Each structure stands twice: as structure tokens, then as C-alpha cells.
Amino acid sequence: MKQILQDLKTGETRIVEVPDPQCPPNHVLIRTRCSVISPGTERMLVEFGKGNLITKVRSQPEKVRQVFDKIKTDGLATTVEAVTSKLAEPLPLGYCNAGVVIETGDAETAALFPEGSRVVSNGHHAGVVSIGRNLVAKIPENVTDEEAAFAPLGAIALQGIRLADPTLGETFLVIGLGVVGLLSVQLLKANGCRVIALEKKEERLKLGADFGAEVIDPDVDPIEALRRLTGGDGVDGVLMTLSSTSSEPVHQAAQACRKRGRIVLVGVTGLDLNRNDFFKREIRFQVSSSYGPGRYDPNFEERGNDYPRGFVRWTAQRNFEAVLRLLSTGELDIRPLINGRFKLEEAPKAYDQLTGSDALGLLIQYGEESHEEPAPRRVIQLKPPRRSPVTIGVIGSGNFARRVLLPHFERSGATIGAIVSQHGVSAAVAAEKFGASASATDPSAAITADSITTTVITTRHDTHAKYVCDALNNGKHVYVEKPLALTMDELREIDATFCRANSEAQSGLLMHVGYNRRFSPHLNRIKNFLTAAPKCMVYTVNAGSVPADSWVLDPLAGGGRVIGEVCHFIDTVRFLADSPIDSLSATSSPAGADQNLMVTLKFADESLATINYLVNGAKSLSKERLQIFSAGRAIDLQNFRLTEFHEGTRVRKYRSLRQDKGHGAQVAAFCQSHQRAKGQLIPYEDLLEVSLATFAAVESARTNTSQRLDEWWEQLREKAD
């Protein structure tokens, strides 16, 4: 399929061939018939992309502060690379999509949206989109695809109005008559409200008047005009549906309101609020979030969990449905808002018109409806597959894979066979950049293809175990990012699969987990400096917080931060101790929580290690510090940039040119091990031991008990009944 992407670095709007997305449970796969360009949001993104670096910096001052903080902690080179990579990520455009259902992810979703149903969603400008069922609504028979595609914009307007809570007979001011503003005028009129409109552009004022608004001449003082129109009382509420960097509109909105009036910001404006504007009249100010309740909630959007109608009457989906009903009855008219139709191939022209004129509703058309929908195309072959000593199939093409792993595999001489992602965009972009043979959304392209020798897995944590087993069962070497598994059952399955696959394979299959710190030049110098004597290690990790609703914290999706990230640091001290873990104890604050954790490990050779994994520190402090004491020697590793070696009164320092956590050396070593049949890069038992230690740490923190690793080994080796 074809999809419209925006390059934030160059400002180019381009059409890219992308594999059709997957359709996971609770999702609907839709073949697009029509989509609408959002004149506010998309114009802002396109103009941002076309701006120079100084313009970009000025528009996002908070990002500049983050960049300077990162320079202090990680160094200039690492920061420049991260920023450049971020700007190079193309952005999918669009969120107003109408089309026909061609596939559903499960029986329950199929009952709601049978194949062939015409539906509207917040899908991108793409030939096929995969959308969670709670952001999909059926289109009434008498509503055209073009009309229906405006439903998400209408829902944005409707949600702002719901927050403003208008009642019959009230007077509302609408500031900004773009598409959302003009839809707001009609919706307020349908609520029985008197509507006054404020807008600088005469053509839009005329449309507002046609929809029943009393418009204010842009050349007169708006506040004085409002006083005359309201008899000096002021308006009951204001909807701000404009896009501006100035704070003057919110000042005007406050001056326009009566005592205890309501202001709802639906668009974008400067928010330098004047307290006196709000204080004396107790004006309420609120920002509206997109289409309504459920938006940005993973349980609602991805997992299909709807809010009970009795408690949340109007969700994002139900707002879609309300707008579609108003279109069906004729109470909402979007036809005057359409001022351009473009075929998908002409999309760049549409965006030129968007930024170069006073465009409102610009439509992208995707071809005539077919009675026989083609099957989803989930693999795009870019060039003939080529098998080399190391040919990788990559599942997961997020920022880490594109910025870190793929460049290192390329430098190490690996051939990139296929790159897979769930939605296809990142896979297509990465495949083009790194010269892959194929881009795909079907994981089998990186697992079953004859040309693939190694499957590289960089997906969400809950998929790792399945893809590891699938790859081993298909005779592929495995390179998987941490963690190896989230549960004991998953680890048992991996262990059984690995042992069986290697007993059947002639040369033996490799399985490697991305514990990159082992391969850092800092750690290798440390390992060479240490003697065989027991060591005492203190590893402090200033991890920082993540949002409470992040998938990383979800036990089912991410496994939590201990299993998902502390495994890195357990592996590091295990590598330096060079001795099996005997026992461990973990304490967390609050008790049993997955953050602010202290883990103490005792090794078989009497070495000790304490890992302080903390989320409540300052961002200005570097992330990692490791101190080691052994046999009259001391080592201080500071964020993989500087290592100090102390022995007696002497101090030696090793400083790398940039932060080096070993990613490049790890990939190079893996490729060499693969080519020369050197065997496991990290001992297989170590990989299992680190996973068991993370499980034990979670249990220790939960129960406040010490855990012996031999008991966890026994659990792993237990055979299922």
C-alpha cells in the first residue's frame, strides 16, 4: 500500500510504499476510500518540517533544555546522534479516515464490524490502516465516504463543546473558524445556543455566517463589539478553535466572558495567562483532549476495553457516532468546507495548497470501491534475497533498532534480509535506508525465509519468547534484546526449544541476549584490571521515571522494570564477578513496587554486589555509576565515558571519545561468532541465570525474603505434567 509521510528534517511530504499492517486482536483492518487533511494539525507539522534548525529550536524550547541536559550526562556526540536520528524519523500524517473493513482481529470484533462494513476511524493517510475497534464507527447508509471522513474533526469539536457544557439559550463565542471552528458553530446551534464568531479571514467569516453565527468585523475592537452584542453581559462560554503562538486570544476570551464563564481550548494558543482576567470573575479554563474519553488510554485504544456507558456516556467512539448521526440527519453540513480533492498520488500538491493558501477541507481519494478486495500485502520484496554468512531478519524497527543495532550490523558486514514492524512504516523506512531485501509486517518474513540465517528480535517484551522459539524451531540463530522472557513458563519453553534445536542442528544454533555492557571497552579494561579475589560492587542507576500507563510497567506487556531493565545490571555484575549467583535479596519502596529497588547479590566466590535502581533522582545526574573494590584496588566507572583505576596511591584514567556501552563491539562479536562457529557469545547458562535472578528479585521485593538461586534453577528444570 501507499502511505503519506512527513520528513521533519527536510520538510518533504512524500508517498512511500509500505506493507499492509497487521490486524491484532481488538483491531479492525480498513481499506481506505477517503481521508481528510487536518488543516490545523497537519499544516503545523508540515511548516515545522520546512523550517530551518533555528525555527525548530524556537518552536520547542522545552526540547532544547532536554538536549542540553543530555549533553551534560551522555556527551555531545551521543546527543547529536540521538537528535539527528529523531529528526530523521518520518511522521505518518492524518487522522480522518473512511473506508471498508477487510479483516478483524478476533470474533468479538468481527461481530461488531463485519467484513465489508463502511467505517470511519482515526487512521492515517494510507491505503490500509489497522485501528483499535474503540476508535472505529459504522457509517450510516445515507452518509458518503467524503462526509464521514470529517467525523474525527467533528468529534474534536464535539468534545470541546461537551466540556463547555452549553445549555439551551446560552451565548457562546467561537474564536477561529477553521474546520473545527465551523463545525463547532453548527454543533452549538444544534444545542440551541446563540453563536458569535471571531475570525480574521473574511471567507471564513462568511461561512460562519452561513452556518448561523453572528460574526464580528475583524477591523473593529472585538471586546467592544461583544459588549454591544450581549448587552454588556458577556458570553456564557468560549470555544478556542484556532492555532496561534500568541497569548492574546486567551486574554480576549477571558475579557469576553461573563462572571463564572467557561473557556475551553480545543486548538493551540499561547498560554501566558493573566490572573486578573480570571480571578475577579472566577472564569473556568479547560483544555480539551482530542476526540473524548478513551483517547490515549492503551486499555481503550489497543485492548478494546470500553468504558461503561452508564459511567462515561460519551467516549471518543460514541462522539464519532454522534457526529455521524448529525451528518445523516442533515443537522451537520460539511459540504461547504470541501475546497479540494486530490488522488493519493497527488498528495504533495495537496500539502502545497495547504501551506500556500487558506485551505479548509482537502480530501485524499484512494480509488474506486471494488467488490473484491485484494488480500493484505504484508511483505514487499525490494530486491532478490541474498544469503550470506550472516543474513539477518529483523523483527521490530523502533528507534533503538534503527539508530543503534542496524548501523552496527551493517558495519559488521551482515546482509539485511527483511525488516518487520507491526504497522509497516518504520520497516519500510529502515529497509530503504539500510538496503534490506524486503520490508514486512508479517514476522515470518524474518523467521522462515531460506535466505535468513539469524533472526534479530527488538519488539515489545511480551513477544520475545514466542519469536525466539519460532526462530529456533526454524533453524535460525537468535539475537534478542533483553529481556529473554517475562515468566518462568516462557523461560522453560525457550530452554526446551533451544536444547531440542541444538540436538537436531548439525553445527549448533546460537542464542544471544543483548547484554551489551559486557562488550564495552570500559568493562573489558575493568575485567583485565581485576584479580580473582572476591569483589564488592555498588552499581547505582539513576533510571528516571516513566509514565504510570507505560507498557513497560505493565506486567503482561513489559514485565516491569526489574525484569525489563534491571536484568542489564545483574548481567554486568555477574560478568565482572565471573562466578555464579548464590542468593539475592531485594527491597523496594514502596514495598513490592517495581521501582526504587535495591538488590544485593551474593556470588559463589563470596563476591557481593548491590544494585541501586532508582527512579526518583534528577535528570541532570548521569544515569549509571559502578564502583568496585577488590584486593586493594578500586574502580570508578562513570556513565561509560570515564573509568578511574585506583591502586595504592596511583590513579589511571580511561576516557572514551563518546559514551560507549558496547553495542558496536557486541554486534561485531556476534557476527564473528556466527561466521566462525565459535559458539555462544555469552554462556547459555548465564543467560538463563540472569533471567532467573530477575524473577527472584521481583519475588524477594514482594515477599521481603532472601532467595536462593538453586531453588529457582530447580523450578526451571521441573518438567510439566
- Let me know whether 250 and 354 are in one domain: no
Q: What is the pLDDT of residues 310-330, one digit of tens each?
A: 999 999 999 999 999 999 999
CA distance 466 to 239: 49
- Let me know whether 508 and 521 are in one domain: no
Q: What is the pLDDT of residue 689?
A: 98
- Angle of helix 464-473 relative to helix 488-504, nearest 10 degrees, comes to 10
Per-residue CA distances from 278 to 260, 262, 517 (Å) = 9, 10, 54
- What mean pLDDT, rounded, does the chain reach? 91
- Let me know whether 7 and 56 are in one domain: yes
- Let me know whether 533 and 680 are in one domain: yes
The domain that contains 665 carries what CATH number?
Answer: 3.30.360.10
Mean pLDDT computed over 40-58:
66
DSSP string of 504-521? Answer: H-SS---EEE--GGGG-H
The tally of domains found in the chain comes to 4
Q: What is the pLDDT of residues 415-454, one digit of tens each?
A: 999 999 999 999 999 999 999 999 999 999 999 999 999 9
- Give the distance from CA 18 to its chain's centroid: 19
- Let me know whether 390 and 413 are in one domain: yes
Report whether 701 contacts 515 (CB < 8 A): no
- Let me know whether 278 and 412 are in one domain: no
- Let me know whether 693 and 668 are in one domain: yes
Whether the ω angle into residue 25 lies within 30 degrees of 0, i.e. cis, is: no
Beta-bridge partners for 612: 540, 598
Residue 552: strand, helix, or coil: helix
- Let me know whether 171 and 195 are in one domain: yes
Residue 380 within a domain: no
- Let me know whether 438 and 497 are in one domain: yes
Report whether 327 contacts 157 (CB < 8 A): no
The domain that contains 279 carries what CATH number?
Answer: 3.40.50.720
- Let me know whether 554 and 599 are in one domain: yes
CA distance 396 to 394: 6
Report whether 21 contacts 422 (CB < 8 A): yes
Residue 132 within a domain: yes
Domain boundary among the residues 264, 287, 310 is at 287
CA distance 629 to 649: 15
- The residue type found at 118 is R
Q: What is the pLDDT of residues 458-486, one digit of tens each?
A: 999 999 999 999 999 999 999 999 999 99
- Give yes or no for residue 384 having a pLDDT over 70: yes
Residue 48 within a domain: yes
Per-residue CA distances from 625 to 304, 539, 644 (Å) = 42, 6, 11
- Total-model pTM: 0.87
For residues 452, 456, 458, 463, the Cα torsion angle rounded to the nearest 10 degrees is: 80
Residue 379 within a domain: no
Q: What is the pLDDT of residue 78?
A: 60
Residue 166 lies in domain = 153-287
Q: What is the pLDDT of residue 13?
A: 87
- Let me know whether 509 and 520 are in one domain: no
Q: What is the pLDDT of residues 129-164, one digit of tens each?
A: 999 999 999 999 999 999 999 999 999 999 999 999
Residue 346 within a domain: yes
CA distance 343 to 349: 10
Tell which residue, 37, 54, 34, has the closest CA to residue 46: 37
Beta strands in 116-226 (DSSP E): 118-121, 128-132, 136-138, 171-175, 194-198, 214-215
Local confidence band at 64 (pLDDT 50, 70, 90 cut-offs): low
- Angle of helix 202-210 relative to helix 179-190, nearest 10 degrees, comes to 20
Residue 376 within a domain: no
